[in-house]
């Protein structure tokens, strides 16, 4: 998913927080709705300026951001730990 075409940061819009392009809908607002159990159709009803592709782009952005922040897994031991 090419989330970059759906999400912008502009210091003049919402203090530079990421928003859905062409709106003032903050990504964190959409993510909070998802966390609270909102479905995509419910979010679209609450924010009629959004499209399904916009909501999916928000999810993709969050996934990419989380992947960047995840610690690298430790290197597995070459020795079995049960010996």
The domain ranges of the chain are: 3-69
For 46, other C-beta atoms within 10 Å of its C-beta total 13
Q: What is the pLDDT of residues 2-31, one digit of tens each?
A: 889 999 999 999 999 999 999 999 999 999
User: Could you confirm whether domain 3-69 is CATH 2.20.140.10?
Assistant: no
pLDDT (tens digit per residue) in 47-56: 999 999 999 9
DSSP 14: G
- 71: tokens are 């610690």
- The pair of structure tokens assigned to 19 is 């928003």
Overall pTM surpassing 0.85 (yes/no): no
């Amino acid at each position: 998913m090419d989330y970059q075409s759906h999400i912008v940061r502009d210091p003049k819009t919402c203090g530079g927080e990421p928003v859905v392009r062409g709106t003032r809908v903050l990504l964190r607002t959409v993510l909070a709705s998802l966390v609270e159990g909102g479905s995509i159709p419910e979010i679209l009803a609450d924010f009629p300026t959004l499209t399904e592709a916009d909501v999916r782009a928000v999810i993709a952005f969050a996934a990419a951001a989380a992947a960047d922040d995840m610690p690298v897994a430790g290197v597995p031991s070459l020795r079995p730990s049960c010996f």
